[in-house]
């Protein structure tokens, strides 16, 4: 079906950049026109005479190049003055030099890597040649990659206009896509809701965990059919679990995606709730695609928006709930009802025991756009990141049965088969938290991120001080930082929860806590950090205490769960799981995949 031409997501950005694009040729054309009208005399410089004797198009081209060169020289002079102002020992970040002008071949390499390599694989290649801090200079603009200086997380770096433009069609002006006063407003509006008392409630997580595990057991007990393996797509399952428990926690009514039939291998979910879940995934994939394209993304979406259809699905779910709350707020306001009465109003017959995030937000504003942006920001951030962490946790425990046995012993020793642990119980289960932290270290749910420098600053890298000008983009790879042996020790590639309990914690993490950033850091640290921990702990607890997962896996490809006696076992088939990922990252599998002379 052909796309209908309309005002696209990138058109406004391209139109905004037109003045800077047309200024150099415009000045050149104007200068050529003025010079062509000049009256030559015998005393006129011979250079001018020779120049005016050239064809008009050659004159314009020369003037254009002269203007561009002069502007570059002026900017470089201003840059040096700004750098020296920050200190005599401040130096430029090493610049990546590739084959094409403005390092444009970096885009093709990154796009190819997304299809053939593991996440953020180009970072390993670049770090090998340029060290941990380098300037990509994509399109000739500063992109200071892989900084370990932690001023990145102070107030002098924001998300930046480039980042906001890419994310706007999904995140709008929500807390993760706002800067300045708008960010402070959203942050201040949402922060009180994520209190320790509220995130300690376990019933929601336990109820949805029970349902998720019952879906696994139900599938595994089905009679086998010819040519149809009895299997569960675990990542799809936990995506449903986090979606349902997350929407109930945030909105007061969940999407009930766990009620639908789980897909069989090679089938796509067909129900509406699963389409909502899939829309989230596709929308986020579209944002990742835009990030990989850099400045080019806006030119690819001049007359269409790759997120439009998915956001229509998301809006169709959120908007009716939002309008119900606002309507009830107005009715209660007219009737003079109290906030306590407002809390007891049900949605579709569901009694709300306490405020949801939606209830909380409508008390601040009636602006549908503001509330919807905030809800989408929180849900997108919470749902997929937690689902990814749960999936990686299962993978890594499947590869390490001894660690699984120790974890089971701790949980059963503390709780037995109790289905009602307290916050104190989770606080005492230190090995459970260590397993989760180690999973987040090796497989952070947000493996790469970026910021923009609001003002010129200095990044320290060892004994060197690097200059970062105002407006520079600062991308950084949490995934690779979490695996650096100079930060985590010689066993950084190994999955070992004990590092969070023994002397390695004091040696590496305690003196330098910013080496562990699964939830970001600084003023923009994740609001739902404790919420995410409780989510993962809930499913792990229910799995161990109630259903006693006994995972015995051979590492190949997809998770295939099957019954063994009265417990659950499984195997990974056809391709490496997390261990394979670690090995491939260490060996840099893309070395032989591309003949990229500039980096060899």
For 557-560, the CB contacts below 8 A with 24+ separation are 558/231, 558/233, 559/231, 559/232, 559/233, 559/234, 559/394, 559/395, 559/398, 560/229, 560/231, 560/232
Q: Pseudo-torsion of CA 214, 220, 224, 226, nearest 10°?
A: 100
Angstrom distances, CA of residue 489 to CA of 481, 515, 583: 12, 12, 17
119 annotated to bind ligand: no
The β-bridge relationship of strands 90-92 and 464-468 is: parallel
Alpha-carbon distances, residue 327 vs 154, 228, 354, 368, 375 (angstroms):
40, 49, 19, 12, 18
Enumerate the β-bridge partners of residue 461. 464
Q: How far apart are CA 286 and CA 276, in angstroms?
A: 15
3-state secondary structure of 596: coil
Q: Rounded to an integer, what distance in angstroms lies between the CA atom of residue 574 and that of residue 571?
A: 10
| Gyration radius (Cα) of the chain, Å | 28
**What six digits make up the tokens of 143?**
């992109």
Q: For residue 404, what are the β-bridge partners?
A: none
DSSP string, 105-136: HHHHHHHHHHHHS-TTHHHHHHHHHH-S-EE-
Report CA-CA distances (Å) from 369 to 284, 330, 527: 20, 17, 21
508 near 487, Cβ under 8 Å?
yes
Q: Match 């986090």 to its residue by tokens.
A: 242
What does each C-alpha distance from 414 to 216, 340, 498, 500 come to in angstroms? 25, 37, 19, 19
Q: Closest Cα partner for 537 from 201, 248, 247?
A: 201
How many alpha carbons lie under 13 Å from residue 304 in its C-beta half-sphere?
A: 9
Alpha-carbon span 543 to 537, nearest angstrom: 10
In the annotated binding site for heme, the residues are 526
């Amino acid at each position: 079906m052909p796309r209908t031409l309309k005002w696209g997501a990138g058109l406004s950005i391209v139109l905004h950049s037109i003045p800077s694009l047309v200024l150099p040729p415009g000045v050149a054309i104007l200068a050529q026109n003025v010079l062509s009208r000049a009256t030559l005399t015998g005393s006129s410089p011979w250079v001018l005479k020779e120049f005016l004797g050239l064809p008009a198009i050659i004159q314009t081209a020369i003037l254009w190049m002269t203007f561009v060169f002069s502007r570059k020289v002026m900017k470089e002079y201003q840059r040096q003055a700004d750098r020296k102002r920050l200190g005599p020992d401040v130096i430029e970040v090493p610049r990546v030099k590739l084959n094409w002008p403005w390092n444009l071949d970096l885009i093709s390499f990154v796009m190819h890597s997304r299809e053939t390599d593991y996440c953020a694989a180009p970072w390993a290649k670049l770090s090998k040649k340029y060290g941990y801090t380098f300037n990509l200079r994509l399109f000739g603009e500063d992109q200071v990659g892989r900084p370990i200086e932690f001023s990145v997380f102070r107030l002098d770096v924001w998300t930046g206009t480039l980042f906001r433009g890419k994310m706007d069609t999904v995140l709008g002006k929500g807390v993760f896509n706002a800067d300045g006063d708008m960010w402070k407003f959203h942050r201040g509006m949402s922060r009180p809701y994520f209190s320790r008392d509220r995130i300690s409630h376990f019933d929601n997580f336990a109820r949805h965990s029970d349902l998720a595990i019952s879906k696994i057991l139900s599938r595994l007990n089905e009679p086998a059919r010819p040519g149809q393996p009895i299997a569960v797509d675990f990542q799809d399952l936990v995506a449903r679990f986090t979606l349902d428990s997350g929407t109930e926690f945030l909105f007061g009514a969940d999407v009930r995606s766990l009620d639908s039939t789980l897909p069989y291998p090679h089938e796509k979910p067909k129900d509406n709730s699963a389409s909502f879940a899939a829309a989230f995934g596709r929308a986020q994939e579209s944002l990742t695609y835009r990030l990989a394209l850099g400045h080019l993304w806006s030119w690819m979406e001049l007359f269409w928006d790759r997120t439009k259809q998915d956001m229509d699905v998301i809006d169709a779910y959120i908007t009716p709930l939002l309008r119900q709350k606002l309507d009830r707020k107005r009715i209660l306001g007219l009737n003079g009802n109290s906030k306590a009465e407002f809390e007891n109003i049900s949605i579709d017959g569901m009694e709300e025991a306490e405020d949801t995030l939606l209830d909380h937000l409508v008390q601040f504003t009636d602006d549908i756009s503001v509330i919807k942006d905030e809800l989408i920001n929180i849900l997108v951030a919470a749902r997929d990141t937690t689902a990814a962490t749960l999936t990686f946790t299962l993978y890594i425990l499947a590869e390490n049965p001894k660690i699984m046995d120790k974890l089971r012993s701790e949980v059963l020793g503390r709780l037995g088969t109790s289905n009602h642990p307290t916050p104190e119980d989770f606080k005492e289960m230190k090995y459970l938290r260590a397993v989760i932290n180690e999973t987040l270290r090796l497989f952070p749910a947000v493996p790469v991120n970026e910021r923009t420098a609001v003002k010129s600053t200095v990044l320290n890298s060892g004994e060197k001080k690097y200059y970062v000008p105002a407006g520079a983009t600062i991308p950084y790879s949490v995934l690779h930082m979490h695996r650096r042996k100079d930060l985590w020790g010689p066993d950084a590639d190994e999955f070992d929860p004990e590092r969070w309990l023994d002397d390695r914690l004091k040696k590496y993490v305690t003196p330098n806590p910013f080496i562990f950033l699964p939830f970001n850091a600084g003023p923009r640290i994740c609001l739902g950090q404790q919420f995410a921990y409780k989510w993962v702990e809930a499913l792990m607890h229910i799995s161990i205490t109630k259903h006693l997962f006994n995972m015995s896996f051979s590492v190949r490809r997809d998770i295939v769960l099957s019954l063994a006696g009265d417990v659950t076992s499984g195997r990974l088939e056809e391709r490496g799981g997390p261990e394979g990922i670690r090995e491939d990252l260490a060996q840099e599998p893309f070395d032989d995949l591309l003949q990229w002379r500039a980096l060899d």
